[in-house]
Structures are given as C-alpha cells and as structure tokens.
Amino acid sequence: MDTNPCRLSVIIPTINEEDGIVSTLSELPLRTLEAMGFACEVTVVDGGSSDRTKEKAEQLGARVIVEPRRGYGRAYKTGFRASKGDILVALDGDHTYPASAVPMLVRTMIEKDLDFVTANRLEFMETEAMSWMHRLGNWILSTAVRLLFGVRLRDSQSGMWVIRRDALDRILPESDGMAFSEEIKIRAFKCCKCAEIPVKYRKRVGKSKITTAMDGIKNLLHLLQLRFFDFRGSLP
C-alpha cells in the first residue's frame, strides 16, 4: 500500500448553502495539504441550488458539478466518479465540521496505514450544534449499528470522513440517500483498517435540509435491510 498517495480530492455535496460553502471552503487548508505532498482538488456536487452556492464555490476555486438526481449518497457517487484522488475526503458544506482538521485526519490515515478514518462529532460538540431530537436520533442509530453489526462506532451518522480510493472500490454503498453515510462506515469497519477520531462540531451556517424524524426512520429501516437482506455477501 502506498504510504503517501500524491492526489487528494475533497468532495462536498450542497443544496442552497451559499453562506456555509464560503465558510467551509475558506477554512479548508489546501496549502497545508500541498505541503504534505498532495495535489488537491475540490469538487462541489450541487443538487440544484436556487441561491448562489454554485457561483460562490467556483469563486473560491472549487469545481462545481450539478447532479439533478436527488440524494446524499447519489451526490457522493457522482463526486467520486468525477474526482481523481487516491485519497477522498467527504465534507459537508454547512461549516459544521472543521475543514481545518482534514490534514490531521489524512495524516492519521497515512501514519497508521489505515483505509478509512471517520470523524466523531459527539465528544467536542458545541451546545447548540444539535437539537435534542437530532441527538436522540443519532444515539438510536449508532446504538443500532453497534448491536446489529458489532461495529464499535460512536457516531454512525458523521458526514466527515476520509477513505482510500482502493478501499472505496471494495465497499461502495448501495444507498443513494442519507443512509449512505452509515452504510459506508459499516462496510469499512467490517472490511478495512479503520479509526474514529474526535473533531469539533459546530452550529450549522444556514437552514438545515434534514427532516430529522423521517430521515431517521429511513436510516433505521436501511440498517435492518442491510443486516438481514444484504445480498452482496460482504456483511456477516
């Protein structure tokens, strides 16, 4: 396995995040990553924003791809195909996750020879970063992941993670929706060398697009389907 791949791609799904995307991209330490030896690219996969998300992302140097097919997972799959990185970084565009932590996560992956590193929001979360319903839903889903799959994962819904391209090719999730996030972690922790690293988590910039109760139910149903009706044979 290469100790330091030379290409790194940051992929950010967006829809109406004109304020959040500016804060996120401005915080992304590309010079630090380049000093680490990476040729970097930033791809914003936009789900049809009606505000100035696309224009502002392009002004800050990101490549913008419009994906008319809705879905969190679909946006990432489109971004993966369009990106050339040997290491892929997933990041939300609402400034909740610290883009400044990307070099630390990548360095951890390389130094420990890991395939997948995911961020844990819960340990250093700001008081107003999550509603009580969001906290409860996250606890239920993460507990279900641990019970159903035996995966020691505190934050199954985290939207910030880093993966090697060759590992992604082995474990790419089936889900095109929000359940993509939990599925990729389950498959990674079952099949690859992984770690979960605490990062800060902040109150989002802009309005949330998540319907907490409905998305939570869909994610829970997906976990049950993945556990009992997975036909790929990759999960015990």
Domain membership of residue 98 (yes or no) is yes
Confirm whether 94 is domain-assigned.
yes
Report the C-alpha dihedral over residues 57, 60, 64, 68, rounded to 10 degrees: 0
Q: Is 8 exposed, middle or buried (0-12, 13-18, 19+ CB in 10 A)?
A: buried
Structural domain count of the chain: 1
The pLDDT tens digits of the residues spanning 195-210 come to 999 999 999 887 766 5
pLDDT in tens, the chain (236 residues): 445 558 999 999 999 999 999 999 999 999 999 999 999 999 999 999 999 999 999 999 999 999 999 899 999 999 999 999 999 999 999 999 999 999 999 999 999 999 999 999 998 988 888 888 889 988 999 999 999 999 989 999 999 999 999 999 899 998 999 999 999 999 999 999 999 999 999 998 877 665 667 888 888 898 898 888 774 555 54
Residue 235 lies in a domain: no
CA 164, 166, 167, 172: dihedral to nearest 10 degrees?
110
Range of the domain at 138: 7-228
Within a domain: residue 49? yes
- Please report where in the chains the tokens 């902040």 appear, as a residue: 202
* pTM metric for this prediction: 0.90
Q: Please report, for the domain that includes residue 191, its CATH number.
A: 3.90.550.10
Residue 234 lies in a domain: no
